[in-house]
Structure 1
């Protein structure tokens, strides 16, 4: 019969090669005693479980990061050179950040002033916005207006509209979008007319398809060079990541 003097026998068994430790070869009583010994040890030493969970989480995070690098590499052209997304910051910057965002996303709004501060303070970041409306009808309405503004009125008008939408707290509707166009000093009529065009719809469809391929389901999601940052990242942390990415070049 299996008699394990507390942990010693358990450690001895687990130290054996896999072939030498065969649970199937144990009797029912031996298996029961072995399981009881493990349970008693874990109850007496619960920190072991926390340590094991920590190791597991580290391994999962490392695997996720490696997978993200592969995803970024395989979709680099669509991310960094799609030809239709707005490019801000320093277009010739040595670091590129892409943001998948939604104008109704609270964390996108929280990140907005910090991303602006990062780009302004650094001066050498190329910043690309991916319109990714996922939070309902008003999200899509806002993105359609922003994309149509870029296509009809150009980069400067898009920047003004983007900033205005990121800071907007009220309802997004035709009236609020018209007011936003007035603040940006352009005629809203051509932009409103273009919102349902095939060209605008194509941009949203392309961004959604890219997000699906890259396993992006939430906003904000940032792509910083070859890594993905899923969710809000505080300014100081983002600055550190930019510095690390620059050092790695």
Structure 2
């Protein structure tokens, strides 16, 4: 876990690094309230949990039910999903389709369908999983292409933030000003949310 002081120190450091090598804004506002980053749970929640994830990451997928459990228990939790597709081309493709599915009103459906998969994915498997969930991959891709500039910029920002914060992989969670790398259990999340709410 990275504590508040370290996170804020990283934030300060980011401001003095060359923008060419670190085109990232990691102020709390940028990380927690990017208007283009999808949020699930309570959109007006008093605590925000940010998750950096990849659809091919086994720990992201195995830990997703824990996030959902805590989110359902806590009616004031807002969860910001930060796609960080670092496991190869299928990860990028999955992010493009799921973010593109927002234009169809099916972001949550696409997210849940791919998070329920096991292991590595191919583009064909991604299409099949989404189709079975009622999300047309062609329409989702059309949604991505229609909003390509915005979605690509979001993915670049997510990557820049992850690197600037010092994340080593997925999943990684930020609650309050603390960073929790790797899978976390429900009690750890509850404690972190309580701490953030108290501050």
Structure 1 length-normalised TM: 0.66
Q: Is the aligned partner of 1:185 residue 2:124?
A: no
- The answer for unaligned runs of 5 or more in structure 1 is 1-60
- CA deviation after TM superposition for structure 1 residue 198, in Å: 3.2
Any idea what the Cα deviations from partners look like across 1:28-77, whole Å, max 9, x if unmatched?
xxxxxxxxxxxxxxxxxxxxxxxxxxxxxxxxx78x65211444685112
Q: Where do 5+ consecutive residues of structure 2 fail to align?
A: 13-25
Matched, 1:94 2:46: yes
Report which structure shows greater RCO (CA 8 Å, sep ≥6).
2
- What do the CA deviations read for 1:190-232 (whole angstroms, capped 9, x no partner)? 3224546333322211111121222223111111011111111
SS of 1:103's equivalent in the other structure is coil
The Cα of 1:174 is off from its aligned counterpart by 4.0
Q: Pick the aligned partner of 1:164 from 104, 108, 113.
A: 113
More helix per residue: 1 or 2? 1
CA RMSD of aligned residues (A): 2.3
Is residue 182 of structure 2 the alignment partner of residue 231 of structure 1? yes
Structure 2 partner of 1:109: 61
2:37 aligns with 85
Residue 144 of structure 2 contacts residue 151 of structure 2 at CA under 8 Å; is this kept in 1? yes
Contact 1:89 1:125 in 2 (8 A): yes
User: How many Å separate the matches in 1 of 2:39 and 2:9?
Assistant: 23
User: 1-side partners of 2:108 and 2:80: how far apart?
Assistant: 11
Equivalents in 1 of 2:123, 2:174: separation in Å? 32
Aligned length, in residue pairs: 184
